[in-house]
Structure 1
Amino acid sequence: MNINAPLKKGRKYDQVVAGAREVFLKEGFEGASVDQIARDAGVSKATLYSYFPDKQALFMAVLTSQCMQQSDEAMGIEILQQPVPEALYSIARSFLGYLMSDFSVQVFRVCVAESARFPDLGRAFYESGPQQALDQIASYFASEKVQQDLTIDDPYLAADQFLQLCRADMLLRKILNVETDVSDEAIERIARETVKMFLARYRR
């Protein structure tokens, strides 16, 4: 299986990905069948296979599309133009909102469960999600705008610290079903405290 092989796109590509997203969310990776995905997407299996060689490639297309959407929301130009403390809060709030979503948690569980059998799947998940977030936040921390307010010598280390502060214990509790519902108030509190701690360490 070549997870990173280029995929053909066409007028029904987005339709297939949208249908697959719902099936993967309901059934998980193992439980999702190509027949069900094709049926829910409203396409034939032949059409589905014309875009995706296998279920793994389809799963990664779903993941990649979600990560791109999250990236646009968390690191949009209107956010990056805000004063640094406000931008950090917006980034943390958006990141936490996605991280605690049912879809994100389900994808994480699936990739952990399948990564031993399909190492490419785990690697592609990391590169499409966590690595992309790390790269984008590190790039922001290295920018002239941020460097005017914060003293950050190692943007990648600082980005990792920022993301780890965001996750807190809340993510583990959600993954393990200790806590199935995370309130907006809890997310906002963690985002605020993340920014306070980060600024206490790096503010000039």
Structure 2
Amino acid sequence: MADADQIHRGRKFDQVLEGAREVFLREGFEGASVDDIAKEAGVSKATLYSYFPDKRLMFLEVAKTECRRQADQASEAIDFSQPPEVVLSLAAAQIIDFMASELGQGIYRLCVAEAERFPELGRAFYASGPALVHEKLMAYLQEAVERGELVIDDVDLAAHLFAELCKADLHAKLLFGMECCSPQEKSRVIRGAVEMFLARYGAKRS
């Protein structure tokens, strides 16, 4: 059984991971071949397999690393002192962009397909992906509550609800392979998610 404990770190680990990232982002999980990843990373297949004995584990590690990278970039790019409608709009855009990306779709399909045989894949990704975003969103919402900008009794639930609002219309279309996620469609969902969230939790609600 594939397990994250089978990943071995060594001198060329980061080099292999960066090569895998480039190929997975370009080709997706199914389209990426081990040969292409080894070539992109500039290593032999033997070296690649010494670090990652399973392509699933490699993809999971890339996804986890990319989630952390994007979460860090979002934290640096977003001014959390701005009003909730500004911060939440930017956060929604980050959530939607990842959900609609090749990487986001690939890890979702992989975790669902392997849920019974390799449940640790999904658990590991959730801990470093959705759970990380959830924690950062909760931290912001709590700060906004303390500033009097939002009125929230259950910050944990509110953060989950906001993430789900960001999936409206788009997630189902992505799941079933329908054309979607144009800039106009994304803007529509972002605007609707933020407006609905603030209608429920905004400090000025009646």
Paired residue type of 1:19: G
8 A contact 2:35–2:45 mirrored in 1: yes
Q: Which runs of 5+ in 2 are unaligned?
A: none
Q: Is the 8 A contact 2:78 2:87 kept in 1?
A: no
Indicate whether 1:8 and 2:2 are aligned.
Answer: no
Deviation at 1:77, TM superposition (A): 6.3
Partners of 1:41 and 1:77 in 2: CA distance: 29
Contact 1:19 1:41 in 2 (8 A): yes
Show the 5 A alignment for 1:171-186. Answer: 171-179=171-179, 181-186=180-185
In the alignment, is the contact (CA less than 8 A) between 1:150 and 1:202 conserved in 2?
A: yes
Q: What one-letter code is carried by the residue in structure 2 that aligns with 1:185?
A: Q
| TM-aligned CA deviation for residue 197 of structure 1 | 0.6
- TM-score for both structures, normalised by structure 1: 0.85
Report the equivalent of 2:163: 163
**Aligned-residue offset at 1:20:** 1.8
Matching of residues 126-137 of structure 1 within 5 Å: 126-137=126-137
Q: Do the aligned partners of 1:67 and 1:129 also contact (CA within 8 Å) in 2?
A: yes
1:203 aligns to what? 202
Deviation at 1:38, TM superposition (A): 1.5
SS at match of 2:82: coil
The number of residues matched between the two structures is 200
Cα separation, 2, equivalents of 1:162 and 1:4: 34
TM-score, length basis structure 2? 0.85
Provide, for residues 62-121 of structure 1, a one-character-per-residue CA deviation record: whole Å limited to 9, x for no partner. Answer: 011110122123333643132222111111112112211222112211221122211111
Residue identity opposite 2:190 in structure 1: A
Give, in whole Å, the separation in 2 of the partners of 1:81 and 1:99: 26
Structure 1 residue 33: Cα displacement = 4.6
Q: For residue 190 of structure 1, what is the aligned residue in structure 2? A: 189
Q: Residue 201 of structure 1: CA displacement?
A: 0.4
How many angstroms apart in 1 are the aligned matches of 2:177 and 2:56?
Answer: 26
Aligned-partner Cα distance in 1 for 2:28–2:141: 39
Q: What is the Cα deviation at residue 21 of structure 1?
A: 2.9
Contact 1:79 1:90 in 2 (8 A): no
1:75 and 1:91 in contact (8 A); partners too: no
Identity %: 43
Distance in structure 1 (CA, Å) of the matches to 2:119 and 2:139: 28
Unaligned 5+ residue runs, structure 1? none
Given that 1:73 and 1:94 are in contact with CA atoms closer than 8 Å, whether structure 2 keeps it comes out as: no
